[in-house]
Amino acid sequence: MILQMIGCHHRASGVDVRERLSFGKEQTSDALVRWRERFPEAELALLSTCNRVELYAVGSAPETAPPAEELIDALTSYHGLPAKGVEGQLTSLAQREAVAHLFRVAASLDSMVVGEPQILAQVKQAYQRAVECAAAGPALHDLFQSALRAARRVHNETELHKHRVSVPSVAIADFASRVFERFDDKRVLVLGAGEMADETLRYLKDAGAAKIRVANRSWERAATIARQWEGVATPWEHLWDELAAADVVIGAAGAKGAIVTAAEFDRRVARRRQQRPLFMLDLAVPRNFEPDVGEQLGVYLYSLDDLAEACERNRAARAAELPAAERIIQIEADAFMAAAHRRLAGPVITGLRRNLEQPKQAELERLFNKLPQLDEHARSEIEQFADRLVNKLLHPPMESLRDASQEGPPHGLLEALRRLFRLED
């Protein structure tokens, strides 16, 4: 197994790069189909969230595994970006480092808010989409199933997730509360009807919000989420009127570019507000609001990058649980790699057993032909003796392979066994 991960995430790249490389659901499927044609012998999966865009590729051998530079080109060229334009902001990991990274991502140890619950579902969805696009195979199946198992262990064996905290909760508690002391008399407008919108409304409702409006291009989805949180769905065409009336605006809608530009906000909203305080939180990638909207008087606009410091405080508060969680990740990553290395030895072990089974059967047949007087009990005893002898002969090389697999791919030992027992074919 040759594993590569190419991507960007909130710790190494800004939101401007992440939004330029982000993939919507349809784009993800389209990209996987294209890349499958480009790399026909590789398995591929793409994870795209607000905080990361990561392409995982697996080849069965070095000659079938896409090189890192080709994966970078695939990732950037899909959006028409030159690779040099994001140079220094992409992360490249291989083999065990890539495995441990995915395990940490799934367990929410690499999230802006450590322990947030959304990422595990997003990892599951990324794998499922790869399956639907015929881009995933047995290697990615093992990798993602192991990542989910590692995440479950972290959840069950540590208290990292005891108090669930997400990016929206940090935003409401640390930022919105700086602008408004109370929310029960504030008019809230949420753009979008996905998981992030739902999560944000949960915390706003807990903070006392009662006047909730939900706008989404799909009226049915807006109505569904509004009903869930005792709010009102508003037509997308009324967006500018709602912006003028709102006190709190949450951007969590999927869009290819900014929904609210600075020029349109100035022309259609600003004068009607007469500088009333407006808290705007942009949780979308690409961003729903142009950054210059925050230059308007009375507007307090925050994006995901602005939450970094508050999220770091959250990480510090949970630091006591991190060592135990990291140990679980390391144990699971080691176990996964050892199993992958053992699978490399499978054909050699099969060949060894075949090379011993064939002469065993030939000799047993020769012996039974020479001793036709043997009864069934004697024949059975002799066959059991032959089986035990073959197993004892196989035991030392199999033990050596198992021990070598704990340290890394046992290529040298495998090659030696192939040559020694003439298993080249």
Known catalytic residues?
50
Distance from CA of residue 398 to its chain's centroid?
A: 35
| Closest by CA position to 19, among listed 287, 308, 303 | 287
Count of CB atoms situated within 10 Å of the CB of 88: 8
Query: Nearest-5° angle of CA 57, CA 60, CA 65?
Result: 45
Distance CA 346, CA 85 (A): 44
Q: Which two tokens stand for residue 290?
A: 């142009």
Q: Which two tokens stand for residue 91?
A: 């992360």
The beta strand positions in 25-90, using DSSP E, are 43-48, 52-59
| Closest by CA position to 300, among listed 168, 172, 176 | 176
Strand (E) or helix (H) holding 203:
helix 195-206
Distance from CA of residue 111 to its chain's centroid?
A: 11
Q: Which two tokens stand for residue 189?
A: 């407008």
| Closest by CA position to 43, among listed 57, 60, 30 | 57
- Residue found by looking up tokens 């499958």 in the block: 36
Q: Which two tokens stand for residue 92?
A: 């490249």
Helices (H) and strands (E) in the chain, counts: 17, 10
